[in-house]
Amino acid sequence: MQQTIGVLAFQGDFHRHLTVFEELGLAVRPVRRPEELAGLDGLVLPGGESTTIGKLIERFGLLAAIRDAAAAGLSVMGTCAGAILLSRGIVGSDQPRLGLLDTEIERNAYGRQVDSFEADIEVPALGPESLRGVFIRAPRYVACGPAVEVLARFEGAPVIIREGPHLALTFHPELTGDTRLHRYFVEMTRTTSC
């Protein structure tokens, strides 16, 4: 059966994620309302501005709806701002969040002078070829709970993590043409959904 992947489509880089999954042969759906979560196998929270996206999902009833859907088995992948929204703790912030991952994350942690950079990341779970990471005002994990599996690090800090059915990364995987992380997530939704 064809999988359906939803992408939260309020703000940020959601178009590219939709295109990547579409090109991989999946059914895709932009998500802006709680009803649009029905029947999804996976949901992507794109990069953007986590405070803006958090306020919008709260206002549109999606904060509670995504939590409920996740409790019922929906896999979620958060990239950059999406990783911030997935984190239980956000350093110095009480902004709205889903908090599905047992992590503490620091926003804009790589400093203003290097707002953006690219780096080759070793990701053993994706094979021997390194992955080009595009970090745009990226956050950094400062703590991860015992159930969190670290799939890749950069300068010692986790940049791709997994906890149960959820995946989070602190960079933008949709900008390089390398679709291995998107495919990895689709594979996760296959093995975790019933």
Q: Closest approach of Cβ 31 to ligand GLN, in Å?
A: 17
Quick check: is 15 catalytic?
A: no
Burial class (CB within 10 angstroms; exposed 0-12, middle 13-18, buried 19+) of 85: buried
Residue 87 in contact with ligand GLN, rule: CB under 6 A:
no
Residue 172, Cβ neighbours under 10 Å: how many?
Answer: 23
Q: Closest approach of Cβ 14 to ligand GLN, in Å?
A: 11
Q: Residue 175 carries which DSSP code?
A: G
Question: In this complex, which beta carbon is closest to ligand GLN, that of residue 49 or of residue 58?
Answer: 49
Residue 48 in contact with ligand GLN, rule: CB under 6 A:
yes
Contact 101, 69 (CB under 8 A): no
Residue 24, Cβ neighbours under 10 Å: how many?
Answer: 14
Q: Closest approach of Cβ 23 to ligand GLN, in Å?
A: 22
Q: Who contacts 129 (Cβ-Cβ below 8 Å, separation ≥6)? A: none
Residue 136 in contact with ligand GLN, rule: CB under 6 A:
yes
Residue numbers at the binding site for ligand GLN (CB under 6 A): 47-50, 80-81, 84, 107-108, 136-137
Which residues have a catalytic role annotated?
80, 172, 174
